[in-house]
Amino acid sequence: MSLFTTGLAELVLIVDDVPLAAKFYREVVGLEPESAADEAWAWFFAGDSERAQRIALHKGSLLFEEHSPHPAGHRFGNVHLALEVPRERFDAAVEHVRRSGTPVYGPTRFDWMSATSYYFYDPDGNLLEFWSPDNS
């Protein structure tokens, strides 16, 4: 257990086109929208539990962006986001991404953590991963 935190409250991805990215995360990644997307924000839930994590898509700056150590236009960069998929839904989830026309890379086997992953990119170049432990 963490000394101070009790979990991840939210993850915000900076995107160029919120409605386009929201459609991808809803239809390809399969996340549940928390509310309707607008031109600046889209909010999703990731997970099945009562404590599902929140993922946001945002166009524009965030609070305190001017303090970032990176130059303007590169203050956040692309990210890698791994989403856990239960083994019984894993193959269907990967096939769903493929059927959308999105290239999928893998499988990649991680023996050290007894898991398998597939990777794909969202429309903004963020690397997404569907990760599934053997015992899920």
Q: What is the pLDDT along the chain (136 residues), one digit of tens a residue?
A: 567 666 677 899 989 999 999 999 999 999 999 999 999 999 999 887 777 889 999 998 777 777 777 777 676 667 888 899 999 999 999 999 999 999 999 999 999 989 999 999 999 888 899 999 998 6
| Domain topology for 10-62+79-133 | 2,3-Dihydroxybiphenyl 1,2-Dioxygenase; domain 1 (3.10.180)
Tokens at residue 125, please?
Answer: 């170049």
Please give the span between the terminal C-alpha atoms of the chain, in angstroms, as a whole number. Answer: 21
Cα–Cα distance measured from residue 80 to residue 57, given in angstroms and rounded to the nearest whole number: 14
Please state the pTM of the whole predicted model: 0.84
